[in-house]
Amino acid sequence: MRGGLLETNPFASLAGLLPANFMKAYLVVMVLAVIVGTILDMVHKGSARYFFANSRKSRTRKDARQIGGGEMLSIAARTAVVDVLASGEFCNPRRRLAHLLTMYGFILYLVTTAIMVFREATPGSGIVPVLWWIGALMVAVGGYWFWFFIRVDVAAEGNTPFRVVRADLFVLSLVASVTLGLVWAFAGGGAGVLFWLYLFATTVLFGTVFWSKLAHMFFKPAAAFEKRVSLANGTAENLPTQTRDDPAQQQRHSMELLREAPMDMGLGIEREAPRHY
């Protein structure tokens, strides 16, 4: 790799080739596209309405335990650390690592892109372009690892990794965006074919929020927090808890034969370890 390439702002190569403030306006439009797409997604699916209704219902139930302010702060902190920062919902360590690589790489990639576009673009821009490369490479590693080796329909069901459905829109457009961005920057930037392909993939990524899973990332922390609150106040979203030690929980079991079953029911049938999300 040519010396100084990692420390060079690739967006500086667009100066004089595109109208002034073109990239700044483009980023603003992409932010608005994400906001509008997320709102439309919430309205269409009714996720926000369901979330607030379920939250209100769990807090007003007669059997709900009152939670103090200190305990509520503790729940919020555990949600932020375990569910958001550490992606604790993933039991599969490979899936969690791929998710963390992609998530933190994506954040780093977005922040450094905005910094390089909105500040004065100079050929030598120091640490920010280096962080941009690191973030994009993290997304590429996590995204390609997930796509070819971890996806449940590939790893567990044996389907071809080239099978594409609408649910794959987010990860495919994300990987395409960062890959084309890396290739464009490595080639020296400019406003050629690679740049417009990069811009097209990025537009698909942020312009299709209504149809992709990108909006899910904004609702996910709130859902995780509400789940922890419902477990803490005893309502558990009207579902049995993980333990049957409590007689009340034993009686809530849907299968009568298992209401008196011991917690340790043996090794079960020996089989290959599950490979799923």
| pLDDT tens-digit map of 158-168 | 667 677 777 78
**275: Cβ contacts below 8 Å, ≥ 6 apart:** 92, 152, 155, 156
Prediction pTM value: 0.74
Q: Domain for residue 95, yes or no?
A: yes
Residue 277 burial by Cβ neighbours in a 10 Å radius (0-12, 13-18, 19+): middle
Number of separate domains in the chain: 1
Q: Domain for residue 245, yes or no?
A: no
Q: Domain for residue 10, yes or no?
A: no
In this predicted model, what pLDDT tens digit does every residue of 197-208 receive, in sequence order?
999 999 999 999
How many angstroms separate the CA atoms of 203 and 205, rounded? 5
Beta carbons of 12 and 121 less than 8 angstroms apart: yes
Beta carbons of 26 and 199 less than 8 angstroms apart: yes
Q: Domain for residue 218, yes or no?
A: yes
244 vs 194, more confident: 194
pLDDT at 261: 67
Q: Domain for residue 33, yes or no?
A: yes
In this predicted model, what pLDDT tens digit does every residue of 12-66 receive, in sequence order?
899 889 998 999 999 999 999 999 988 888 787 766 666 666 666 666 666 666 7
Q: Domain for residue 256, yes or no?
A: no
CA dihedral 151, 155, 159, 161 (to 10 degrees): 50
**85: which 2 tokens?**
């920062």
Q: Domain for residue 104, yes or no?
A: yes
In the chain, the N- to C-terminal Cα span, in Å, equals: 37
pLDDT at 230: 74
How many angstroms separate the CA atoms of 181 and 177, rounded? 6
How many angstroms separate the CA atoms of 137 and 114, rounded? 17
In this predicted model, what pLDDT tens digit does every residue of 10-20 receive, in sequence order?
998 998 899 98
Beta carbons of 14 and 22 less than 8 angstroms apart: yes
pLDDT at 3: 47
The DSSP code for 146 is I
192 vs 246, more confident: 192
Note down the domain range covering 31.
20-58+68-231
Q: Domain for residue 171, yes or no?
A: yes
